[in-house]
Amino acid sequence: MRLLVTGGAGFIGSNYVRWVLQHTDDEVTVYDALTYAGNLSTLADVEQNYGSRYRFVHADICDLDAFSTAVAGHDAVLHFAAESHVDRSITGPAAFTITNCVGTNVVMHASRLAEIPRVVHISTDEVYGSVEEGESLETDLLDPRSPYSASKAGSDLIARSYFSTYELPVMVTRASNNFGPWQYPEKVIPLFSTNLLDGAKVPLYGDGLNRRDWLHVLDHCAGIDVVLRRGDPGEIYNIGAGNELSNFDLTHRLLGLAGAGEDRIERVADRLGHDRRYCVDSTKLQALGWSPERDLDGALADTFAWYRDNRWWWEPLKAASPAR
C-alpha cells in the first residue's frame, strides 16, 4: 500500500513510519508542518535507510490545496498530526482548536474527494475525561476537561461525521499515555529522564497521585496497524497496555534508573483541571489479534537508555525551547 502519514515527523508518527517500513513492503509519504515538536532530525535515519519507499512533504494540514495534492494516489491516510501538550493548551488554546479541529476537517474532506480506501484518525484516551474507577469503553460519552482533550474530542467527532455523512471509511483509535524514543522533551518521561541525566530536578505536579496507563509507542504502532488492516470503518478502538501507575510511582522508577534519590523531586503547583485518572478497555482491539508485548519496567529502562545515548537529538531541542 501507499500510506500518507500526517505528523510523521513527530513522536508517535515517526515511530509508526519506522514500524511500518520495517514490517511491511508499504511505501510512506510523511506530511508534516515541522512545528516545534516535528523535526527532520527525527527522520534522518528513515530517509537514509528507506529512501526508495519514503518521501517527505513539508506542509500544514490546514492547507487544503497542499493536502489535496499530497493525498492523491494513496491507499490509506493515518492522521497523527495534532497539537498534543496539555500545558501548552492551557496557555494557548487557539492553536489546538485550529490544528486539531480545522486540520482534521481538511484531512477528512480531502481524503473523501480523493476516495481514499482507509483512513485512521489517531486520538487519545483523554477525550473520556477523568475516570475515577473502572475502564473507559468506546461507547462511553466524551467528557474532555482541557483545551487539548476538548479539541481532540472535537476532531474525533469531525472524523466520524465523515463516515456517517459521506461513508468515508474512517476508523478512530484512542490510546493511553505513550512513551519511548523520539518523544519531545516536554512530556513527563523524556522531561524527567533528560533532567535526571543533566543533574537537574524533576517537577512533580501536586500530590503525585494522578494515575495513567503507560503504553510503549511501538506497541501503540502495532495496534494502529492492526486497525488499519483489520478494523471496521466507522468504529473506534481503544489501545491501552494495562500498566497503570501514579505519577509518584513513575517518578520513583525513573529515579531508580538514574541512580538518584528523592531529593531530585521538586514539588510544583498542580496543573489546572488536572485529570485524576485515565484507563481504557482494549478488549475490542484485542479481538482483532493485538496485545501489548513490552514489559513496563524493561521498556522504561530501554527508554531511559535511549535518552542517555542520544543527547545529540534532544539537547538542541531543550536548548531551543527549554522544558520545565
133: buried, middle or exposed (CB in 10 Å: 19+, 13-18, 0-12)?
exposed
**Residue 46's domain is classified under what CATH number?**
3.40.50.720
**Overall domain count for the chain:** 1
Domain presence at residue 319: no
Q: What residues in the chain have per-residue pLDDT under 50? A: 322-324
- Sequential DSSP letters for 243-301: -EEEHHHHHHHHHHHHT--GGGEEEEPPPTT---B--B--HHHHTTT------HHHHHH
* CA–CA gap between residue 167 and residue 164 (Å, rounded): 6
Q: Which helix (H) or strand (E) holds 170?
A: strand 170-175
Domain presence at residue 130: yes
The length of the chain, given as a count of residues: 324
Q: Please tell me which residue in 32, 60, 83, 126 is annotated as part of the active site.
A: 126
Helix spans in the chain (H): 11-23, 44-50, 64-71, 86-91, 93-97, 103-113, 147-166, 188-197, 217-230, 247-258, 283-286, 296-309, 311-320
Q: Which residues pair with 104 in a beta bridge?
A: none
Domain presence at residue 128: yes
Among 213, 206, 214, residue whose Cα is nearest residue 278: 213
302: buried, middle or exposed (CB in 10 Å: 19+, 13-18, 0-12)?
middle
Q: Please tell me which residue in 16, 148, 162, 237 is annotated as part of the active site.
A: 148
Domain presence at residue 309: no
Domain presence at residue 189: no
Q: Which domain does 165 fall in, by range?
A: 2-179+214-239
Grid cell locating 31: 506530511
Q: Please tell me which residue in 27, 32, 60, 125 is annotated as part of the active site.
A: 125
Any catalytic annotation for residue 125? yes
Any catalytic annotation for residue 205? no
Any catalytic annotation for residue 126? yes
Domain presence at residue 136: yes
pTM for the complete prediction? 0.95
Domain presence at residue 218: yes
Domain presence at residue 205: no
